[in-house]
Structure 1
Amino acid sequence: MTSEEVPYTQVKTVLQPFIPALGQAADVILDQEVSAYPVFIVHQAMLSMGIPLIENAAESEWSVNASTLEELVTKQIVQEDKLDVFRQVYKDPRTFLCLLVIADSSADFVFLPR
């Protein structure tokens, strides 16, 4: 396992008990037509983006904020010229949770089965 895989393995383990609640949050975002692209930002530092859902999950340093693709574009996390590519790789939000995992100096999108 590479050092890059460690945070994602840890995140998956820490978030496992919260997957149903995150799925419900995704459903609300979809059903209320807030966005067709819910994104959950998983982070360890203070973050002024999204709506805080989980703080220090399972007594870890990981927290989760609910956001959307539209907010990520507004905050220039996802560049407008990359929107089509993002939409092509984005998985069905009724089946997968889209996570933006921010760890150390990297940030990557991960899709976790619901």
Structure 2
Amino acid sequence: MDIEELLPQQPEGGKAEQKKSPLVSLEKDLELYADSLKEVAIEIKVEGISANPIFIAHQHTVSIGEVILDRKELNTEWTIQVSTLEEFVQKGIINPEKKTLFLKSYKKPEDYMCVFVIVPEGANFIYYPYKAKG
């Protein structure tokens, strides 16, 4: 799933409210955090903790994973926590029967950050590419 798919859609035949999506600020924060997140994802794989790191982006308090980037400390919009596929299955966020399906869509953690975005309207997974150094 791409970030655009989570953005509010224009209603058909009507004018959309000019409400700024929280995902605009998320994208800005993910750009800022990208190098740190990539380092953490690779470390989780190398240390054998999990082959499937998952980052959680939120603006509240969540009880999964560990805080690695706190929005209050960094003066940003989003707090990022790190977790794993195994913890998501254990906590029932990913149904064990859907684990195989999830793994089919999971992108290489060296190239993409898997982010579980939590907003008041709900939550969803996105894959955000790390920018190539150029």
TM-score normalised by the chain length of structure 2: 0.78
Q: Which moved more, 1:48-57 or 1:104-113?
A: 48-57
Structure 2 counterpart of 1:50, which letter?
G
> How far 1:109 sits from its partner (Å)?
0.4
Counterpart among 51, 54, 62 of residue 78 in structure 2: 62
Residue 78 of structure 1: aligned partner: 94
Q: Distance in 2 between matches of 1:15 and 1:30?
A: 20
Counterpart among 45, 52, 66 of residue 30 in structure 1: 45
Higher strand share: 1
> How far 1:50 sits from its partner (Å)?
0.5
The reply on whether 1:99 has 2:115 as its aligned counterpart is yes
TM-score normalised by the chain length of structure 1: 0.91
The reply on whether 1:19 has 2:19 as its aligned counterpart is no
Could you say what secondary structure the match of 1:30 adopts?
helix
Structure 2: segments with no counterpart, 5+ residues: 10-19
> How far 1:81 sits from its partner (Å)?
0.9
Structure 1 counterpart of 2:64, which letter?
M
Residue 49 of structure 1: aligned partner: 64
Q: Distance in 1 between matches of 2:77 and 2:118?
A: 12
> How far 1:39 sits from its partner (Å)?
0.2
> How far 1:34 sits from its partner (Å)?
0.5
Residue 15 of structure 2: aligned partner: none
Q: Distance in 2 between matches of 1:60 and 1:21?
A: 15
Kindly tell me the number of residue pairs found equivalent between the two proteins. 114
Q: Which moved more, 1:57-66 or 1:13-22?
A: 57-66
Structure 1: 4+ residue segments shifted above 6 A: none
- When the two chains are superposed, the root-mean-square deviation of aligned CA atoms in Å is 1.9
Contact 2:56 2:82 in 1 (8 A): yes
State, as a whole percentage, how many aligned pairs show the same letter: 31
Structure 1: segments with no counterpart, 5+ residues: none
